[in-house]
Chain A
């Protein structure tokens, strides 16, 4: 006669001791599918939360740092100008030259600062 408290242990152990290989494969497959489903759900949640956070941050920054009253930032092409000073992607920043100036080795034909 078994004590009533031992019954759950026996019920739990029984499939392990008596399951055939096919049943074990089926159980393992079920556990794997369940884990993959949980992982997929978590991944989807993270993606949705990230997108929501990026959107909220964008709205916050747009309100905190308003630009001037331009209704659009589309630049205007004009005539044959191909690389005007204001039409580049870095138009509203001040950037150093791609190569620093050097000491001149020839007499200067033009002068800056005297007119």
Chain B
């Protein structure tokens, strides 16, 4: 059920459920209604193109045709291009060819249907086919997946939708806007004084923010191992797959939040950080990405250069009491 309410003096927030998560829009009061309609259209568009759980989606049809070349829609082609670009940018840490690995872990249905767990055993380690095995031809919008390969664009398609929706709304209405899809947020246009406020949640089981920061442009995304996890037989697994093993990434960080030039880049960096484990802090600092990492046991919060000190969280390897 969508709702609209005042969030700040001149800004209003629109909230609805979409893509298996919560979609939120913050903009000027006078633009809210029209902006919300544009957001809804963008959400339907990305769902129809890139959902792994809709039988009628372009992605489902591509995955079912693995082994032969398929002409795909412009929306799906763009989503695949973005996914491959982020795979290259993260040196394969975020890889769209994890579809089969996700299914082996039981994530072959909408996440709401996984809450009771699934029967089965933890599969053996098996590297994913790898993003370099995907062939694309931009002139003909043709894509060819190797046999026994399927794409999961969940890591990047949602962030792409946030970037695209924010840019589209700003271009059409001229207002500043923040679009957040399940916490993957993108800002476009003039920001309110002080920026768009975003709460950062640690607990994974709660949306109660541990601290709040503000962004004026670009994107902010959080990845975590606590929210989308389920039981596979006797094992707990989560949705961030390490491409090197085809299994859920070894838990090191509970939540990683990253700010970047776009929401797509922020999402790729936060997901890659989960996969990298202990090496994530150095990697993020080398890229000069402002980030906040919470250890899996919740005892430590680490921030990289550029992340603001809010006074609400522990900073730089300071142990919780």
With A83-B167, A85-B164, A113-B183 known as contacts, the answer to whether A101 contacts B195 (CB < 8 A) is yes
Partner of A101, one of B45, B206, B306: B306
Pull 21 A–B residue pairs with CB atoms less than 8 Å apart, ordered by A: A68-B134, A69-B133, A69-B135, A72-B139, A74-B139, A80-B171, A85-B264, A87-B78, A93-B265, A94-B265, A94-B287, A97-B217, A97-B261, A101-B213, A103-B310, A107-B8, A107-B197, A110-B180, A114-B199, A114-B208, A115-B183
Q: How far is the CB of B221 from chain A (nearest CB, A)?
A: 7
- 15 further A-B contacts with Cβ under 8 Å, apart from A70-B138, A107-B197, are A69-B133, A70-B137, A74-B139, A82-B171, A85-B162, A88-B261, A97-B259, A99-B216, A104-B310, A109-B24, A109-B197, A110-B24, A112-B180, A112-B257, A113-B257
Interface residue? A73 (CB, 8 A): yes
With a cutoff of 8 Å between Cβ atoms, the chain B residues found around residue A69 in the complex are 132-136
Interface of B is mostly: mixed
**Interchain CA distance A93-B260 in the complex, whole Å:** 11
Q: Are A79 and B74 in contact (CB under 8 A)?
A: yes
With a cutoff of 8 Å between Cβ atoms, the chain A residues found around residue B87 in the complex are 68
Q: Are B261 and A104 in contact (CB under 8 A)?
A: no
Scan residues 36-88 of chain B and give those whose CB is less than 8 A from a CB of chain A.
45, 74-75, 77-79, 81-82, 84-88
**Interchain CA distance A100-B220 in the complex, whole Å:** 11
Interface residue? A59 (CB, 8 A): no
Q: Give the A interface residue count (CB, 8 A).
A: 48
Q: Are B308 and A115 in contact (CB under 8 A)?
A: no
Number of A-B contacts (CB under 8 A): 253
Partner of A114, one of B137, B197, B227, B289: B227
**Interchain CA distance A101-B308 in the complex, whole Å:** 6
Q: Are B85 and A91 in contact (CB under 8 A)?
A: yes
Q: Interface digits, B216-241 against A, CB 8 Å rule (1 contact, 0 not)?
A: 11111110100100000000000000
Q: Give the B interface residue count (CB, 8 A).
A: 101
Q: B136, B162, B186 — which one has the most chain A CB atoms within 10 A of its CB?
A: B136
With a cutoff of 8 Å between Cβ atoms, the chain A residues found around residue B22 in the complex are 115
Interface residue? A111 (CB, 8 A): yes
Q: How far is the CB of A84 from chain B (nearest CB, A)?
A: 4
With a cutoff of 8 Å between Cβ atoms, the chain A residues found around residue B136 in the complex are 68-71
With a cutoff of 8 Å between Cβ atoms, the chain A residues found around residue B290 in the complex are 96-97, 100-101
